[in-house]
Structure 1
Amino acid sequence: MIHLGTAALLAAYGRRELSPVDVMRAVLAHATAREGQLHALCAVDADAALTAARASEARWRAGTALALDGVPVTLKENIAVPGAAYRLGTAAMPDDAVADFEAPPAARLREAGAIAWARTTMPDYGMLSSGLSSLYAEPARNPWDTRMTPGGSSAGAAAAAAAGYGPLHLGTDIGGSIRLPAGWCGLVGLKPSHGRVPIKPGYAGRVAGPLTRTVEDATLMLAALAQPDARDPTQLPPGQVLPRPLELRGLRMGLWLDAGWGEAPQPEVLAAVTAAARAFEAQGAIVEPLPAFTTREMADGMDRFWRMRSWLDISALPDERRAQVLPYILDWVAPAAHYDGATVFRGYSQMQALREAANAAMDGAQPFDFVLSPVSPMPAWPAHQASPLHDPARPFEHIAFTLPFNMSEQPALAINAGYTAAGLPIGLQIIGRRFDDAGVLALGAAWEQLRPAQRPWPFNPTEP
């Protein structure tokens, strides 16, 4: 039953063919069997999960079931839940650090009846695209090849999703932290329009969203998440998030294969993304090249701004705690100690530059309805590296295709496009106009029908 998606579970509960208690027990047992290999979870509360499952079972019997009643879900460790550990993936946080509030995404899932049974691992402060962390003895591993990273910063969430730890997993994204691991693990990962999913604490570009194995699961999860919460002043009014009817014929799509900076896409990545574009074209879509529209200046400015932000947090720690931060992160933030105000301000201004460039790219003389691109220029890399280059002086060369859409606040979906010769997933990114979350989900669902048959999910232990 661990292979079932959300809709299938809900239907089975309604027919009394499955019980939330049995499903929760199966997920707990499966996760226990895989965790020694994957290191996806930082906390599990089996007793509370089974108590919640019994309450869900009672609601199903009484005919009062909620929208996601009894569906298992994991929460990334930086999604606050009262009394739960809140160490943000770093050993620099006190051992007894716990949250004293419930983040809006956690509240919405709880109110929908989903069972938050585990919390997933992440790198220090969520500032890496891998699962490497000073807090955990081992980094999270990619179920497709456990020598490799699942990506990050929603590392454990992606590993758990691909390995079958239930259908729903919640991540966060500020530069690609949902879409990158989704791409490297063959998943569906949605970075919603900013404000679509209320969040706390908020930050420019930061969103929460689904990591799932299907567009249907991501859609059902988003419907629960996209409910109002006054604690987020950027929240959007309630709106349509279910996929809208989509006729492929006549849709205008930009094919963006050159980001303008960063690592160039590898041949296997280019081939898979181009093949997806040609498949849409064969259905009547109009696909045209989209030239590079972001620059090294934009990337370096964001890098400097983020270094200063992180330096301020880390430099405020007592010496003994600062020394526990992952050395790669310490090396990355160190230059910020010497930045002046003008450097930081110019870096901050690149948020607006990226926003304007990304939105303008879709609004040329012949506007695009959607943009297609790689999620990342390369497939997953070894799990003990912080980034593909493992160089804190060049930390973001792999996020050139994802970063712009955090700053532009547009919805962007990662979905599997194919596999490398070595069997690693390759991600396709679908970008829509601001607020058109329903559109990117609809195009993702269309791609699920068009793409070649997918390989079986790596639910069982394998030898690489």
Structure 2
Amino acid sequence: MTIRSDRAGAGNIGPGVGAAPSGAQAGGAHVVPRARSGENTPADLSAERLLSAYSTGELSPVEAVEAVLARIEQDDPALNAFCLVDPDKALKAAHDSTERWRRGEPSGRLDGVPTSVKDIHLTKGWPTLKGSMASSTEGPWEEDSPVVARLREQGAVFVGKTTTPELAWKGVTDGPLTGVTRNPWDPSMTPGGSSGGSAAAIAAGMGPLATGTDGGGSIRIPASFSGICGIKPTWGLVPHYPASPFGSLAHTGPMARTVGDMALMLDVISGFDSRDWMALPTPGPGLAGAGLGENPRELVRGMRIAYSPTLGGQYVDPEVARVVADAVRVFEELGAEVEEVDPGLPDSRHDFHVLWYTGAAKATEALTDAQRELQDPGLREIIEEGLTYSAQDYLTAMATRMAMGARMGRFHETYDLLLTPSMPIVAFEAGLESPPGSDDRRWTSWAGFSYPFNMTQQPAASVPCGFSGSGLPIGLQVVGPRHSDARVLRACRAFELARPWSYHRP
């Protein structure tokens, strides 16, 4: 087992996928990525494709895990997506899985699928440091969080833990403990965050599945910036333990390369866990992925879909706006009724800050002065601001949430789904909280399409919908009313069938 830390210099650009592409210019500008036909190694296969190959004997879990570990060894020095890799444990689990498949007795729906875990989720036998130098590496580490327990029960093979900013506090992935995580499409750029390690790993073929958390966009931001898909489920559908200091803003969800994989993983990790006192009841079998098929018209037929290009007048880069508008037209071509309309949400950034910053203050209240000196400076700043808010401020922010939830509930009485850009911009320079030249340092200044739907607890997914002229991915956000996760996934699947993206690789 290897635990990685920036104390040893992690995060520097190295060889492999981080090398500049042929024709790239200095400073990280890219040519538009070429479509790559077929898969080169088992590391490039989806979870669904791996499971099919296991069942026919075409491929074994050992071969798949070996390919993923080789990809990590080759490319992670450039990307810094992992803070821990455990080849011995992964290969032992892969050998056990191979024997089960040989007997025709797989142990679950993900038996043998290489999977990584965000370093926010407790994982038995591995330290969970949450990206913080204040965390102790001493065990014992004897408990799985609910999402990890479900994956383990279904036979997933854990290859390692992925990087996160300290306490998952911001929309990019860098911090004092593990350094800077980089984007496989251009390693001078951020993959987004806070689930940036998971996103970078999936985009680079270092495993088809990874866990993510999303308190203000932390699944959807890196999915958009890194060219993968991810969903923030209805709050409570996936149980969360230990309870997040950010309360009911914080969701756990799947991150994957394809919608089918995302739906499969969501099915596995959904359902009641007694440790989460606010978890929803276990849904029926296959609820999250119900109805996914091969006919995109059937998947969206009869849907009335709203499209908000700016979600209340927010700035959107013109190139992003063009690509997203083109993606929205696909739904019209598939037979859905699409109307450009805005839901009329208020500017909730200050209210989100009250909830987010007080959560950060609560999470760190027991730290010593020496430990606080080791923290990410930006995190220290929001903690100090969080300590200035009163109970009345907190209740006012919660009242804003309730009003937003009621408004969106009424909105979805008319519209089945809402489409927006996932992000108003493409990925920017790695190691920064905001783009160069921004007049606001905080990540929330450019994440206004994501955190409102944490306030309302709705399911919201990001799927790749195109590329910028510099070759960086652009994401489309699909939002549904609470408890409509299956509907959101059906729409994502329809778009994926109409505009396949999985053959585009960094």
**When the two structures are superposed, what TM-score results if normalisation uses the length of structure 1?**
0.93
CA gap 1:98/1:84 in 2 versus in 1, 3 angstroms: farther
Q: Which of 93, 96, 112 lines up with 1:55 in the alignment?
A: 96
In 1, the alpha carbon distance for the partners of 2:139 and 2:175 equals: 17
Q: Measure, in 2, the Cα distance between the counterparts of 1:178 and 1:265.
A: 20
Mapping of residues 30-429 of structure 1, within 5 Å = 30-65=71-106, 66-96=108-138, 99-136=141-178, 138-202=179-243, 203-233=247-277, 234-239=279-284, 240-244=287-291, 246-260=298-312, 263-296=314-347, 298-363=348-413, 367-388=414-435, 394-429=442-477
Matched to 2:131, the amino acid is: G
Does residue 1:457 correspond to 2:505, yes or no? yes
Q: Distance in 2 between matches of 1:173 and 1:453?
A: 23
Q: 2:481 matched to which residue of 1?
A: 433
How far residue 228 of structure 1 moved from its aligned partner, in angstroms, is 3.3
Please report how far the alpha carbon of residue 418 of structure 1 lies from its aligned counterpart in structure 2 after TM superposition: 0.6
Q: Which segment drifts farther, 307-316 or 409-418?
A: 307-316
Quote the Cα distance in structure 2 between the aligned partners of 1:346 and 1:90. Answer: 31
1:404-439 alpha-carbon deviations (Å, 9 max, x no partner): 222322211100111101010000011122212111
- Rounded to whole Å, the distance in 2 between the matches of 1:217 and 1:339 is 41
Q: Give how far 1:257 is off.
A: 1.7
Contact 2:291 2:299 in 1 (8 A): no
Q: Which runs of 5+ in 2 are unaligned?
A: 1-41, 293-297
Match of 1:462 in 2: none
Shift of 1:374: 0.6
Task: Find the aligned partners of 1:343 and 1:7 in 2 and give their Cα distance.
Answer: 47
Distance 1:313 1:445 in 2: 38
Deviation of the 1:314 alpha carbon: 2.8
Q: Secondary structure at the match of 1:204?
A: helix
2:24 is matched with none
Q: Partner of 2:115: helix, strand, or coil?
A: strand
Deviation at 1:210, TM superposition (A): 1.2
Larger deviation: 392-401 or 166-175?
392-401
Deviation at 1:8? 1.5
Would the aligned equivalents of 1:109 and 1:224 in 2 still touch at CA under 8 Å?
yes
Residue 106 of structure 1 and its aligned partner are, at CA, apart by 0.4
- Aligned partners of 2:363, 2:271: CA distance in 1, in Å? 31
The one-letter amino acid paired with 1:339 is: Y
**Residue type of the alignment partner of 1:132:** D
Q: 1:427 to 1:120 in 2, by over 3 A?
A: same
Deviation at 1:381, TM superposition (A): 0.8
- Residue 455 of structure 1: how far off its partner (Å): 6.0
**How far apart, CA to CA, are the structure 2 residues paired with 1:98 and 1:86?**
11
Amino acid at match of 1:80: L
Displacement, 1:397? 1.7
CA drift of 1:101 comes to: 2.1
* Paired residues of 2:343 and 2:408 also in contact (CA < 8 A): no
Equivalent residues of 1:355, 1:404 under 8 A apart: no
Q: Which amino acid aligns with 1:252?
A: R
1:2: how far off?
0.9
Distance 2:159 2:236 in 1: 26
Query: Using a 3 Å threshold, how does the CA distance of structure 1 residues 175 and 377 change in structure 2: closer, same or farther?
Result: same
User: What's the CA shift string for 1:52-97, capped at 9, x where partnerless?
Assistant: 1111011111111021110100000011012321211111223436
Identity of paired residues, percent? 37
- Which residue identity does 2:119 align to in structure 1? E
Give the deviation of 1:110 after TM superposition. 0.5
**Aligned residues of 2:258 and 2:502 also touching (Cα < 8 A):** no
- The one-letter code of the counterpart of 2:335 is G
- 1:368: how far off? 0.6
TM-superposed deviation, 1:267: 0.6
The 8 Å contact of residues 415 and 429 in structure 1, kept in 2 or not, is answered as yes
* Contact 1:73–1:115, Cα closer than 8 Å, also in 2: yes
Residue in 1 aligned with 2:26?
Answer: none
Q: Is the 8 A contact 2:213 2:251 kept in 1?
A: yes
Q: Distance in 2 between matches of 1:362 and 1:347?
A: 23
SS of alignment partner, residue 176 of structure 2:
coil
For structure 1, which runs of at least 5 residues remain unmatched after alignment?
Answer: 459-464
- What does the per-residue CA deviation read over 1:236-255, in whole Å, with 9 as the maximum and x for residues that have no partner? 33222223264434321000
- Quickly say closer, same or farther: Cα 1:419–1:301, change in 2 above 3 A: same
Q: Is the 8 A contact 1:358 1:405 kept in 2?
A: no
Letter in 2 for 1:360: R
Cα distance change, pair 51–247 in 1 and its aligned pair in 2 (3 A): closer
Contact 2:228–2:256 (CA under 8 A) maintained in structure 1: yes
Render the CA deviation track for 1:278-298: whole Å, top value 9, x for unaligned: 1211222111122252222x2
